[in-house]
Chains A and B, each alone.
Chain A
Amino acid sequence: MTASVLMPLIVLLSSLVPAVLIFLLPADRHWLRGAMSLGGATLKLAIVAIMLWGVFHEQTYRLTIPFLPGLPLTLHADALSMFLITLSALLWLFTTIYAIGYLDNAPHRRRFFGFFSLCVSATVGIALAGDLLTFLVFYELLTLTTYPLVAHRGSAKALQAARTYLTYTLGGGAVLLLATVWLYHVAGTLAFREQGFLNGLVAEQGPTLTVIFFLLIAGFGVKAALVPLHGWLPKAMVAPAPVSALLHAVAVVKAGAFGIVRVVSDVYGIETSDQMGLLLPLTLAASFTIVYGSVRALAQDDLKRRLAYSTVSQVSYIALGLSLGSPIAALGGIVHLVHQGVMKITLFFCAGNLAESAGIYRVSQMRGIGRRMPWTMAAFTVAAFGMIGIPPLAGFVSKWHLGVGAAAANQGWVIAVLVTSGLLNAAYFLPIIHTAWFAVENSVNGKSDDHKDAAEAKWPLLAPALFTAALSMIIGLFATADASPLTWATLIMRREFGL
């Protein structure tokens, strides 16, 4: 076996093997379990770093595993895979540290960390999938491995939310399976290719391909929380904070968005789908989702629900960027895959800290908490400003390219959507920041003091939040540096558009 085969395998196994071992290990071996999780995460990150270098220099990493007759599972690392896999490897490491701190002395830790590692393995599979079938297999694995995490608390509410989640995602999965089989029947292949593999078929099979396109988008739209398929996401907020963080930043929601990216750019090809007129409906759906999610977020007092609706809105930036048919807009969309992940995970880490250290679940309970937990709230503030799109934070870089791309595609109304979204983001994030830093404590409904015992979160909870907050500033401030997400996304775009 050469490095080319070995690398994808190690990346996959670096979380799969710990997962299996964790299940085999006695439940009270906390230290060993933690060490295995962290060791796997560190190893993964190291291998991913090597692969990044390799993919940049056009090395091939390809691993095929026999599966169906004529249709093996293919793991293949292209520039786009590396984008998601780097994000997941990095954020998995932080979330593991966070989760160890968060679940200190909580029950069912073996189950939690086992499925947690499986969930990451599925994400790695999705990122590395070289064709639509492989993608689908890991996509469904992700659905199944996330279910126990959402249901983790075991309360009636958690079980109900997990059921809703399963109903939605399995429904989406069924649609995807149908579309994939149909597509294989029409095209005879499912292997992803830069600029798509359907160019030759458009003339004969135009209408069929159009139907398949929308089936695929609808299927992926469930996890990507495109309105009206988003209903499961706010409910899934009952999951513990590290799960929410991973769900919203790299795993489930991101997998849906990543699926849309794959369909548009590597199945149909951005230019081909543009010529077929498939993109405008996607632009409309994404725009609607962006505005709708923000409007709903406004009305939520529950912090995690507000963040959930914010995710609904923000993830659709990715689909929006791809749907405009302009390379710059697509760049903005793709780079938001990473930017949204880094910022959103910060927000969820902070929400978890507030719940753990101060028992705060609602925005209205946050009065003056900035003085008690200055570092947590500093991280929150940075990420929230990034979400609004304020420079020098990551969100600005995404938004700038989306805006320039919309102007290039002569879709002025999309800029209006971005402006509206910016306003709404400000309208639901700034009051939180105001409440935390400027509002006076001690006067919530006459109650004496909501959080007089609150102290800053402990280090395993605080450090990941601070790091990701700093990262969302660094990748914005140095957006044009050699190793920045923007530079990497530019590489993806150059290859996708054949520039």
Chain B
Amino acid sequence: MSDFLANILSHGGVWLLVIALPMTVAALATIRGARRYVPLLAPWATLPALVVALWAPAGVVADVPWFLLGAQFGLDETGRVFLFLTATIWFIGGVYAQSRSFRDHAGTHFFVLFLLTMAGNLGLVVSLDMASFYMWFAVMTFASYGLVIHSRSPSVMRAGRVYIAMAVIGEVVLFAAMVVLAQSAGTANFEQAQLAGVSPDRWRLVSVLSLLGLGVKAGVIGLHMWMPLSYRAAPTPAAAVMSGAMINAALIGWLRLLPFGQVELPVVGGLFTGLGLLAAFAGVFIGLMQRHPKAVLAYSSVSQMGTMVAALGVALQSAGRWQFALGAVLIYALHHALAKAALFLAQGLSEQAVPSRASRWLTQLALVMPALSLAGAPWTSGALAKAGLKSEIALSSSVWSDWLITLLPIAAVGTVLLMVRFVCLSWPGKAAISQQAAPLPAAISACVMVTLSYSTVWLWPNAGPANAAEVASSPKALWAGAYPVLAGIAIAWLGVKTIKPVRLAPNRLTLPAGDIVVLIEKAGKRLFRLIGKQAINRSATPRQPLA
């Protein structure tokens, strides 16, 4: 299998077939007779990518000189992790979406955009040059707009506007980062650019631009406002792929673009770490004040991505241990992606009625298990991921590492609080038993996602340090995983019991989803009123139509 794959994947066209399969399925929607098969086929369009992720040997590369500005596609160990999680989450999300509500006419629309976004997401993972990465990135970004605004209500349309505005800002700044790097390195190939001996000055510029450009996707603090709005607006399967798979486009972008292990950038690294830490805490604080479970999850993503951005910052400051740091970051990303997708699917399930008490227990279990995992409770994938990341940070030579070692457990307690809030908000009530039950594909896919989120990280070959699994189940590590969870639950309980406002008027203690976007919208409206008066007056007078 592996030899066969290595053989055919040395042809660039095969990669393009793998990426473009979802697009081909989407194109069936233009044929009247084939249209109704599009939803059914959608999840299966990820299968070739999944096969590549699981069985292709690392290091297969194909040059495609005729594609765009000269493209290169391939798979390395980094790509394998992301391709696996991307294909898996899109597959399961696609199965979840098989329920009836997505399969009417508007549903075909949904699946066409779902497939286009999927193609973009898969494509960017295997792209090894800037232009094709940028292309697939753009395909993903613009197609997913249609997923966000699927239900078309006014609040959803607003979420869509914020999403697309932020996304476009990200696109154009990423473009700037790429042209500067391509010029400085004299090549648009990621790997060659890293080795091209670009001056540290230019690296600093590229890093800061990419922090902004990709930061929008990762929800770097200050660029995160779209996330709670869009995750809440998007239908469950779309929210799951956005929060699980698409968010990692930023991460893989940084890993491809920045000179990890080659050049040390202390100041920029500090910026990454500082912003990451800020996000890790701000995500928790603002998230706790959310009323909608999906918004809570979005802020949890802000916080979790913050932790990873902080770790990347540390790695930018100490090039020496990059190979190990990379392993830790990859495992963390894998854990977070699967757990977050599972949480969204479980949340979607919790909104639906259940046919029996047993299935309600199942829903409750599906909510609690990934929540525990994200909180880093012992024996969960989160425990392993957190232990790996922490030990890597401790070994780095960054000036920030002591701070991180102290602060990350506190952030972990915050995550526990967030998860408590999330579980409470989405806990299915007693009255929910009905014959109009959740569709089977949704229930099955949510359960499979939860199971995968537990097992994958433990089964992943070479996950983190060689003895990570052993270390993570040592008494010390178990305690390290258990105490934030216990502390978080205790604080949550005490908080509700002792602080009056929390108990009596929880709705007063809320912040709108998207926090500062509300201020920006107000300021924008005022600004528009100021400078736009003239334009409005002018356009109010009807013009003769031009032919």
Taking CB atoms, residues of chain B closer than 8 Å to A422 are 168, 171-172, 175
| CB within 8 Å of A: which B150-188 residues | 152, 164, 168-169, 171-173, 175-176, 179-180, 182-184
In the assembled complex, the Cα of A440 lies from the Cα of B149 at a distance in Å of 12
Q: Does B504 count as interface, using CB distance less than 8 angstroms?
A: no
In the assembled complex, the Cα of A437 lies from the Cα of B135 at a distance in Å of 22
Q: Does B459 count as interface, using CB distance less than 8 angstroms?
A: no
In the assembled complex, the Cα of A400 lies from the Cα of B134 at a distance in Å of 11
| CB within 8 Å of A: which B27-55 residues | none
In the assembled complex, the Cα of A430 lies from the Cα of B485 at a distance in Å of 46
The digit string for A381-415, where 1 denotes a CB below 8 A from any CB of B, is 00001000111100011011001111110001001
Q: Does A27 count as interface, using CB distance less than 8 angstroms?
A: no
Nearest Cβ distance between residue B72 and chain A, in whole angstroms?
Answer: 13
Which range contains the number of A residues in contact with the other chain?
A: 35 or more
Taking CB atoms, residues of chain A closer than 8 Å to B67 are 477-478
**Cross-chain contact of A423 among B172, B179, B205 (Cβ < 8 A):** B172
Contact flag A407-B546 (CB < 8 Å), given A385-B142, A397-B69: no
Nearest Cβ distance between residue A71 and chain B, in whole angstroms?
Answer: 42
Smallest Cβ-Cβ distance to A356: which chain B residue:
B547
Q: Does B131 count as interface, using CB distance less than 8 angstroms?
A: yes
Smallest Cβ-Cβ distance to A303: which chain B residue:
B546
Whether B546 contacts A408 by the Cβ 8 Å rule is no
Q: A-B pairs with CB below 8 Å: how many? A: 110
In the assembled complex, the Cα of A423 lies from the Cα of B213 at a distance in Å of 13
Q: Does B535 count as interface, using CB distance less than 8 angstroms?
A: yes
Q: Does A301 count as interface, using CB distance less than 8 angstroms?
A: yes
Contact flag A480-B65 (CB < 8 Å), given A157-B544, A423-B169, A430-B168: yes
Whether A400 contacts B179 by the Cβ 8 Å rule is yes
Whether B70 contacts A361 by the Cβ 8 Å rule is no
Whether A399 contacts B175 by the Cβ 8 Å rule is yes
Q: Does B68 count as interface, using CB distance less than 8 angstroms?
A: yes
Nearest Cβ distance between residue A447 and chain B, in whole angstroms?
Answer: 14
For the residues of B in contact with A, the DSSP-based class is helix
In the assembled complex, the Cα of A478 lies from the Cα of B131 at a distance in Å of 12
| CB within 8 Å of B: which A415-462 residues | 415-416, 418-419, 422-423, 426-427, 430, 434, 437-438, 440
Smallest Cβ-Cβ distance to A477: which chain B residue:
B68
The digit string for A470-494, where 1 denotes a CB below 8 A from any CB of B, is 0000001111110000000000000
Whether A391 contacts B546 by the Cβ 8 Å rule is no
Which range contains the number of B residues in contact with the other chain?
A: 35 or more
Contact flag A419-B546 (CB < 8 Å), given A385-B142, A430-B164, A480-B65: no
Taking CB atoms, residues of chain B closer than 8 Å to A237 are 546
Smallest Cβ-Cβ distance to B130: which chain A residue:
A400
Q: Does A299 count as interface, using CB distance less than 8 angstroms?
A: yes
Taking CB atoms, residues of chain B closer than 8 Å to A389 are 175
Taking CB atoms, residues of chain A closer than 8 Å to B546 are 237-238, 302, 304-305, 361
In the assembled complex, the Cα of A437 lies from the Cα of B116 at a distance in Å of 16
In the assembled complex, the Cα of A202 lies from the Cα of B478 at a distance in Å of 80
Taking CB atoms, residues of chain A closer than 8 Å to B535 are 299
Nearest Cβ distance between residue A236 and chain B, in whole angstroms?
Answer: 10
Taking CB atoms, residues of chain B closer than 8 Å to A302 are 543, 545-546
Q: Does A128 count as interface, using CB distance less than 8 angstroms?
A: no
Q: Does B146 count as interface, using CB distance less than 8 angstroms?
A: yes
Whether A391 contacts B135 by the Cβ 8 Å rule is yes
Nearest Cβ distance between residue B385 and chain A, in whole angstroms?
Answer: 34
Taking CB atoms, residues of chain A closer than 8 Å to B172 are 418-419, 422-423, 426
Contact flag A299-B179 (CB < 8 Å), given A392-B68, A438-B146: no
Contact flag A480-B69 (CB < 8 Å), given A302-B546, A403-B176: yes
**Cross-chain contact of A478 among B66, B173, B176 (Cβ < 8 A):** B66
Whether B164 contacts A480 by the Cβ 8 Å rule is no
Whether B135 contacts A392 by the Cβ 8 Å rule is yes
Whether B182 contacts A404 by the Cβ 8 Å rule is yes
Whether A438 contacts B149 by the Cβ 8 Å rule is yes
Taking CB atoms, residues of chain B closer than 8 Å to A240 are 547
Nearest Cβ distance between residue A320 and chain B, in whole angstroms?
Answer: 14
Whether A390 contacts B138 by the Cβ 8 Å rule is yes
Whether A400 contacts B66 by the Cβ 8 Å rule is no
In the assembled complex, the Cα of A390 lies from the Cα of B132 at a distance in Å of 11
Whether A390 contacts B142 by the Cβ 8 Å rule is yes
Whether B68 contacts A476 by the Cβ 8 Å rule is yes
Q: Does A355 count as interface, using CB distance less than 8 angstroms?
A: yes
Smallest Cβ-Cβ distance to A238: which chain B residue:
B546
Q: Does B101 count as interface, using CB distance less than 8 angstroms?
A: no
Which of B68, B146, B182, B544 gathers the greatest number of chain A CB atoms within 10 Å?
B68
Taking CB atoms, residues of chain A closer than 8 Å to B205 are 412
Nearest Cβ distance between residue A412 and chain B, in whole angstroms?
Answer: 8
Nearest Cβ distance between residue B379 and chain A, in whole angstroms?
Answer: 45
Smallest Cβ-Cβ distance to B136: which chain A residue:
A391
In the assembled complex, the Cα of A412 lies from the Cα of B205 at a distance in Å of 10
Whether B180 contacts A415 by the Cβ 8 Å rule is yes
Whether A415 contacts B179 by the Cβ 8 Å rule is yes
Contact flag A408-B69 (CB < 8 Å), given A390-B142, A391-B138: no
In the assembled complex, the Cα of A405 lies from the Cα of B183 at a distance in Å of 8
Smallest Cβ-Cβ distance to B67: which chain A residue:
A477
**Cross-chain contact of A391 among B68, B145, B179 (Cβ < 8 A):** B68
Whether A481 contacts B66 by the Cβ 8 Å rule is yes
Contact flag A403-B152 (CB < 8 Å), given A361-B546, A430-B164: no
| CB within 8 Å of B: which A337-379 residues | 355, 361-362
Whether B146 contacts A391 by the Cβ 8 Å rule is no
In the assembled complex, the Cα of A81 lies from the Cα of B522 at a distance in Å of 53
Nearest Cβ distance between residue A423 and chain B, in whole angstroms?
Answer: 5
Q: Does A111 count as interface, using CB distance less than 8 angstroms?
A: no
Whether B547 contacts A153 by the Cβ 8 Å rule is yes
Taking CB atoms, residues of chain B closer than 8 Å to A245 are none
Taking CB atoms, residues of chain A closer than 8 Å to B538 are 299
Taking CB atoms, residues of chain A closer than 8 Å to B65 are 480
The digit string for A177-205, where 1 denotes a CB below 8 A from any CB of B, is 00000000000000000000000000000
Q: Does A241 count as interface, using CB distance less than 8 angstroms?
A: yes
Q: Does B498 count as interface, using CB distance less than 8 angstroms?
A: no
In the assembled complex, the Cα of A481 lies from the Cα of B138 at a distance in Å of 23
| CB within 8 Å of B: which A256-294 residues | none
Whether A403 contacts B547 by the Cβ 8 Å rule is no
Please name 26 pairs of A and B residues whose Cβ atoms are closer than 8 Å in the assembled complex, sorted by A: A299-B538, A304-B546, A305-B546, A361-B546, A390-B138, A390-B142, A390-B171, A391-B134, A400-B131, A403-B179, A404-B182, A405-B183, A407-B182, A407-B184, A412-B205, A415-B176, A415-B179, A418-B175, A418-B176, A419-B172, A422-B171, A427-B168, A434-B164, A479-B68, A479-B69, A480-B68
Query: Top 7 A-B pairs ranked by shortest CB distance?
Result: A403-B179, A407-B183, A391-B135, A361-B545, A422-B172, A426-B168, A299-B535
B interface residues (Cβ-Cβ under 8 A, vs A):
65-70, 131-132, 134-135, 138, 142, 145-146, 149, 152, 164, 168-169, 171-173, 175-176, 179-180, 182-184, 205, 535, 538-539, 543-547
A interface residues (Cβ-Cβ under 8 A, vs B):
153, 157, 237-238, 240-241, 299, 301-302, 304-305, 328, 355, 361-362, 385, 389-392, 396-397, 399-400, 403-408, 412, 415-416, 418-419, 422-423, 426-427, 430, 434, 437-438, 440, 476-481
Q: A238-B546, A391-B131, A479-B68 are in contact. List 13 more A-B contacts (CB 8 A).
A: A390-B138, A391-B134, A391-B135, A400-B69, A400-B182, A403-B183, A407-B182, A412-B180, A412-B205, A423-B168, A423-B169, A437-B146, A477-B68
